[in-house]
Chains A and B, each alone.
Chain A
Amino acid sequence: MALDVFAPWNDPDAKPLIQFKNVSKRFGDFTAIDDLTVDIFEREFFALLGPSGCGKTTMMRMLAGFETPTEGNILLAGQDIAPVPPNKRAVNMMFQSYALFPHLSIWDNIAFGLKRDKMPKDQIAARVEEMLRLTRMEKFASRKPHQVSGGQRQRVALARSLAKAPKLLLLDEPLGALDKKLRQDTQFELMDIQEKTGTTFVIVTHDQEEAMTVASRVAVMDHGQIVQVATPDVIYEAPNSTYVADFIGEVNLMKGKADPQGDSLQMHWAEGQPAVVGSPLAGASKGQDVHYAIRPEKVSISAEKPVDAANAVQGKVLDIAYLGNISTYHVELAGGQIIKAQAANNRRISRRAFTWEDQVWLSWTATAGVFLER
């Protein structure tokens, strides 16, 4: 592995910028954050991903200072930030609604935070110009927020929150209000700006694709807890639970009994079907309930039984979802289990190999899927 890979979380000597230490937050009877501990490092682009109500927004609002933890501590560069009010924190936030001040021009919106710091006028001007350049909004400086498009408003909000050069920038669903095409362009722009400024970004999103695209690490949240924190590829290829596997992308989930076989694991999951073979699961004993997760694109579909596949099952095509570049086949096995398989459409549709009701073989290698305990 190259040495210059950015991975401070693997370095035992690295000092985290933010530490959540056993943080809980309750609103009356409702527990929004449940005994949560996590470290976020400098220059990271950290994504909090989860469905609405999972506590990700509460975590962000505690970092900004709009909520205080019920229990536990949040440290910023080693300092407990609980007693620091939001206007004294070196943390800035980009709001989901952008919260641009409608009565101020774009220039004044960006300068707003700088003026609060009593910065000299010429320095403010220089910094605002810099931010306008960074977000390519120079031409629109004198306009009011309602006089620019949604995408431009998003860039102004980003410029305003970056203007004070915060140690940490919080982004609350920053791209939620944009349409899909614009969102994809903006994701790369965000990454670019994050790299240029070297600011630590924490982004809250419910869009897994967005989290996977922009983040250096993703924390998948559920019911006030972090289920898994890892780099996007690990989250996708090696989820630690069916919840994570199911939340990120499409997946086939199967359930059965474990049967360890030396350096591999077999799972018996249905009468009359061959056991699923895969890499072993640490600590799995014979007869234990386990889950198997495999991504549709790792399942191949063929008319004949493949010769040396580790896993091969037969079924009939139930449904075909044609998505242009790829097609997803829903194949029903003898026991009723449905497995999705994806195939690239490198031929024209008229010459497609399979159609409804066809008997087909599905196969995948021993390392294609993962066994999961829960």
Chain B
Amino acid sequence: MRRMSWFNITSLTLGFAFLYLPMLILIIFSFNESKLVTVWAGFSTKWYGELLSNGAFLDAAWVTLKVAFLSSTMATVLGTMAAIVMVRSGRFAGRTLFSGMIYAPMVMPEVITGLSLLLLFISLNVDRGVMTIVLAHTTFSMCYVSVVVSSRLVSFDQSLEEAALDLGCSPFQAFRLVTLPIIAPAVISGWLLAFTLSLDDLVIASFTAGPSATTLPMKIWSSVRLGVSPEINALSTLMILIVTVGVVGASLINKRNVVRQRREEAAAAKLA
């Protein structure tokens, strides 16, 4: 292996500085005493206090979590079904349309998805609120779930399912007892992805939410349009923190499992 060249070290350093400095600055200035966000006036956590006593933010956060939880759960069920159809069902009438409908929502501009769903809800005379956001989020995030799950299903050893049938399972039992536990990590990552997509979405929620529901991104949007605010800095810091802990934690657990499995396999091979 060649040693890393200075060019590579420099490009990595600059690249990651570019990726992380803005968020770092945001975090640092969330502890700024001053209302003027660009001038440092000493350390303080008062903006966190103001944030947590701001009922509108808390309400919006609650709505967002509700929407994210419901839509990601529905998207996981639908997306997993779609993945099984894509990988296992062979040919059927409408297959091309089906795979088109799975891929299209992922490349569709959010403004179009949002607009079209809003017009649908209006023409059906549906009261807009939490439920319409959930339906909208489920629709686009189920496609992401199905991509994640089907990439796992493709590499799934089908003889495991055949073995389950051979040992007396009905096809549904074989799925529940064998396939699902094995592809569970992919299903869980699909759920997490759908959950984050829903938490993150501003545009589609703005279109499909009625006056009765405001999500956190919508709330953030309406206040940052007017400029930088220390409360939003504090909120951003909390959100970055939660995601970082979650992602780093998940990848550490995953890494530990992989290492353990490798070690056990090596030990088993030596045993023979």
Q: Are A97 and B269 in contact (CB under 8 A)?
A: no
Q: A66-B162, A96-B159, A99-B159 are in contact. Are A149 and B168 (CB under 8 A)?
A: no
Chain A, range 132-186, C-beta contacts under 8 Å to B: 144, 146-152, 160-161, 164, 182
Contact count A vs B, C-beta below 8 Å: 80
In whole angstroms, how far apart are the Cα atoms of A113 and B163 in the complex? 9
Q: Which residues of A contact B264 (CB under 8 A)?
A: 144, 146-147
- Interface size class on chain A is 20 to 34
B262 → chain A closest CB, angstroms: 9
- Nearest-CB residue, chain A, relative to B160: A99
* Contact indicator B268/A147 (Cβ below 8 Å): yes
Chain A residues positioned under 8 Å from B168 (CB to CB): 87-88, 113, 116-117, 164
Q: Known: A86-B162, A99-B159, A99-B162. Contact between A112 and B167, CB under 8 A? A: yes
Q: Kindly name the residue among B160, B167, B178, B182 whose own CB sees the greatest number of chain A CB atoms within 10 A.
A: B167
Q: Which residues of A contact B13 (CB under 8 A)?
A: none
CB distance from A151 to the nearest CB of B (A): 5
Does A18 have its Cβ within 8 Å of any Cβ on chain B? no
Q: CA separation between A64 and B166, bound complex, in Å?
A: 7
Which chain A residues border B160 with CB–CB below 8 Å?
A: 99, 101
Contacts of B19 in A (CB 8 A): none
Instruction: Decide: A164 and B167 in contact? CB cutoff 8 A.
Output: yes
Q: Closest CB-CB distance, A83 to chain B, in whole Å?
A: 15
CA distance A337 to B162 in the complex (A): 50
Contacts of A101 in B (CB 8 A): 160, 163-164, 178, 182
Given contacts A95-B162, A149-B272, A150-B272, contact A113 B167 (CB under 8 A): yes
Within 8 A of B (CB), among A95-144: 95-97, 99, 101-103, 112-113, 116-117, 144
**Closest CB in chain B relative to A107 CB, distance in Å:** 15
Question: How far is A112 from B168 in the complex, measured between Cα atoms in Å?
Answer: 9
Closest A residue to B170 using CB positions: A87
Chain B residues within 8 Å of A96, by CB:
159
Report the bound CA distance from A161 to B167 in whole Å.
Answer: 8
Give the docked Cα–Cα distance between A164 and B264 (Å): 30
Contact A87 B159 (CB under 8 A): no
Interface residues of A in 74-103 (CB under 8 A from B): 85-88, 91-93, 95-97, 99, 101-103
Q: Nearest chain B CB to A132's CB is how many angstroms away? A: 17
5 nearest A-B residue pairs (beta carbon): A149-B272, A113-B167, A116-B168, A99-B163, A99-B159
A-B contact pairs, 23 of them (CB 8 A): A66-B165, A85-B165, A86-B166, A87-B168, A87-B170, A97-B159, A99-B159, A99-B160, A99-B162, A101-B164, A113-B166, A116-B167, A116-B168, A116-B173, A146-B268, A148-B271, A149-B269, A149-B272, A151-B272, A152-B271, A152-B272, A161-B166, A164-B167
Which of B's residues lie within 8 Å of A, judged by CB? 157, 159-160, 162-170, 173, 177-178, 181-182, 261, 264-265, 267-269, 271-272
